[in-house]
Amino acid sequence: EVQIVESGGDLVRPGGSLRLSCAASAFTFINYNMNWFRRAPGKGLEWVAYIGSASAAIYYADSVKGRFTVSRDNAKNSMFLQMKSLRAEDTAFYYCARENTYCTSDVCGGALDYWGLGTLVTVSS
């Protein structure tokens, strides 16, 4: 059964840094693009970062660009999110999700088909 497990969340002071990890199992990790998302208290789901299967393509939300860095280690079936210059508004549950491509007879598109339970990042003094 596909499993995705995030870890590394913690309480950190504004301006601090934190590194999140995402461990994947029961699928061929190198074949899939991966994403980070977050959900702040009282807010909706927000995309944070995308990394292609071979790390050739990497994209970030404007809200984290220049502060967060996504990476992956395909040999260890893992993805990471290095966060620096953290702000109070970065407080959220952070989720890792697998992106798959599906096709019907007339359309192809991406689907975020497996997610982890999330890890909580709290930025507060």
- Footprint of another protein on this chain (CB under 8 A)? 4, 35, 37, 39, 44-47, 50, 59, 61, 93, 95, 97, 102-104, 107-118
Q: How far is the CB of 115 from another protein (least distance, A)?
A: 4
Q: Would you say 75 or 108 has its CB closer to another protein? A: 108
Q: Would you say 27 or 50 has its CB closer to another protein? A: 50
Helices vs. strands in the chain: H and E counts, helices first: 0, 11
- Distance of alpha carbon 125 from alpha carbon 123, whole angstroms: 7
Report which of 125, 124, 99, 122 is spatially closest to residue 8, judged by C-alpha positions: 122
Q: How far is the CB of 82 from another protein (least distance, A)?
A: 19
Beta partners for residue 73, in sequence order: 78
Q: Would you say 75 or 103 has its CB closer to another protein? A: 103
Q: How far is the CB of 75 from another protein (least distance, A)?
A: 25
Q: Would you say 4 or 86 has its CB closer to another protein? A: 4
- Distance of alpha carbon 118 from alpha carbon 110, whole angstroms: 21
Q: What is the dihedral of CA 41, 44, 47, 53, to 10 degrees?
A: 90
